[in-house]
Chain A
Amino acid sequence: MTTAGHNVGTAGIAGDNVGDDVLLDVRNLQLHFPIRRGLMRRPAGYVRAVDGLDFVIRRGETLGLVGESGCGKTSTGRCVVRSYDPTGGEILYHGNGTQPADIAKVKSTALKQYRRAIRMIFQDPHSSLNPRMTLRDIVGEPLKVHGIASGSELDERVASLLQTVGLRPEYMSRYPHAFSGGERQRVGIARALSLDPRLVIADEAISALDVSVRAQILNLLQDLQADRHLTYLFISHDLSVVEYLCDRVAVMYVGKIVEMADTASLFTAPQHPYTEALLSAVPKPDPLLRDRRERIVLSGDVADPADPPSGCYFHPRCPYAQPICATEEPPLRDLGNGNSVACHFAEELDLRGVTAHTG
Chain B
Amino acid sequence: MVAESVQTSASPELDHDSLLSVRALQTHFPLDQGLVKAVDGASFDIRQGTTLCVVGESGCGKSVTARSILQIVDRPGRVVGGEILFRRQRRGAGKGPDGEIVDLAALDPKGAQMRRIRGGDIAMIFQEPMTSLSPVHTIGNQIVEAIQLHENVSNREAKERAVEVLHKVGVPRAKQRFDSYPFELSGGLRQRAMIAMALSCNPALLIADEPTTALDVTTQAQILELMRELQDDYGMAIMFITHDLGVVAEMADDVVVMYLGMTVERGDVVSIFHDPQHPYTRALLRSIPTMGMGTRTRLNTIKGMVPDPYDRPHGCPFHNRCGEYMPGTCDQIVPPPIDLDEHRQVRCLLHGGAPSSGVRNEVNT
Contacts and interface: CB of A to CB of B under 8 A. Distances in A.
Contact of A267 (B222, B246, B250, B291): B291
Given A282-B291, A289-B249, A290-B250, 13 more contacts: A210-B58, A212-B306, A237-B217, A238-B217, A243-B293, A244-B296, A267-B292, A282-B217, A284-B246, A285-B285, A287-B249, A287-B273, A354-B291
Contacts of B302: 212, 215-216
A211 interface: yes
A211 to B, nearest CB: 6
A295 B221 contact: yes
B156 interface: no
B220 interface: yes
Nearest to B221: A281
Interface in A206-243: 210-216, 218-219, 222, 237-241, 243
A68 to B, nearest CB: 4
Interface string B287-329: 1111111111111111001100000000000000000000000
A65 interface: no
B270 interface: yes
B290 A359 contact: yes
B245 A211 contact: yes
The contact size tier of chain B is 35 or more
A158 interface: no
Contact of B218 (A240, A241, A243, A298): A298
Given A282-B246, A287-B269, A297-B222, A212 B284 contact: yes
B88 to A, nearest CB: 31
A30 B1 CA distance: 62
B54 interface: no
Nearest to B255: A287
A241 B217 CA distance: 13
A183 B248 CA distance: 27
Contact of B216 (A68, A285, A357): A68
B295 A246 contact: yes
A284 B290 contact: yes
B298 A285 contact: no
Interface string B266-277: 000110011000
B193 interface: no
B57 A211 contact: yes
B288 A290 contact: no
B152 interface: no
